[in-house]
Amino acid sequence: MAEILRVLGLTKIFKLHLLGGKEVIGCKDISFTLGTGEVLGIQGPSGVGKSTVLKCIYRSYVASAGQAFYRSINGVVDLLQVPERDILELRRQEIGYVSQFLRVVPRVSALQVVAESILLQGREESSALREAGRLLMYLGIPKELWDASPATYSGGQQQRVNVARAIITCPRLLLLDEPTASLDEQAKQRVHELILELKQKGTAVLMVSHDRASLEQVADRILFLDCVGDNQTGEVTRRAFEVAHH
């Protein structure tokens, strides 16, 4: 198992100018490694900074300190430092991200939403739509809903669309933020199966979840984020424990 991602001392501090420059800690000094075909779960209570870690790696957040070395097809890069243009290219070709909540334009059909990422990779339209349909089918979205916008879907269905659009590209690195949070048992199983299928193909997965059972089913290792309060300064320090299981 080759190492694909090495995160060192990742720290994110938000500076809120509208609140007079108040600083809020998102996460502090997080380090871990991830190999190809490995699923690393990130667990911890709400507000502990699990999503922050993912977003910093995906560059939706600007990290305050640390490094995230990623072995891309074209060599090792620090995801926190590479030019924006390269990040866009990596997102298009190599790195998938499933956000906690689906955010889509309410005029685009579910099929289009899912197909979009492979269309951007240059896939021919009819084959992209076929592929998208296959995934939606597998995830249990009834065919008669495919033409509707996912914005009209139930929470669970939206989440499945969200997963589908990220995994359709078979990314080399997949960042999952609570992918099964609002799913029923059967749908959850399907998502797990898809994750494991990707894992088989060599995708490295970073999966945030507060659902221990879920993680235990798919994750090879679990990174446990805990907060150690230091109430006197009003600061919360986050420390990462890595918990190996099995």
Q: Of the two residues 74 and 189, which places its CB atom closer to other proteins in the complex? A: 74
Footprint on this chain of other proteins (rule: CB under 8 A): 14-18, 55, 59-62, 72, 74, 77, 82-89, 105, 107, 119-120
Cβ 64 to other proteins, closest distance in Å?
A: 10
Helix 125-138 to helix 110-120 angle, to the nearest 10 degrees?
Answer: 130
Query: Which CB, 116 or 211, lies closer to other proteins?
Result: 116
Instruction: Answer for the pair 137, 164: CB distance below 8 angstroms, yes or no.
Output: no
The answer to whether 41 and 209 are in contact (CB under 8 A) is yes
Do residues 132 and 164 make contact, with C-beta atoms less than 8 angstroms apart? yes
In the complex, least distance from residue 86 CB atom to other proteins, rounded to whole angstroms: 5
Q: Tell me how far apart the alpha carbons of residues 47 and 207 are, in angstroms, rounded to a whole number.
A: 16
- Rank residues 92 and 192 by Cβ distance to other proteins and give the closer one: 92
Q: What is the rounded distance in angstroms from the CA atom of residue 35 to the CA atom of residue 41?
A: 13
We find the least distance from the C-beta atom of residue 126 to other proteins, in angstroms, to be: 15
Q: Which is nearer to other proteins, 107 or 246 (CB)?
A: 107
Considering the complex, what minimum distance in angstroms separates the CB of residue 53 from other proteins? 13
Nearest CB to other proteins, comparing residues 51 and 214: 51
Residue type, 7: V
3-state class (DSSP) for residue 195: helix
**Contact (Cβ atoms closer than 8 angstroms) between residue 35 and residue 204:** yes
**Please, are residues 175 and 206 in contact by the beta-carbon 8 Å criterion?**
yes
Contact (CB, 8 A) for 170 and 194? no
- Provide the minimum distance between the beta carbon of 212 and other proteins in the complex, in angstroms, as a whole number: 28
For residue 143, the minimal CB distance to other proteins (Å) is 24
Q: Which is nearer to other proteins, 105 or 196 (CB)?
A: 105
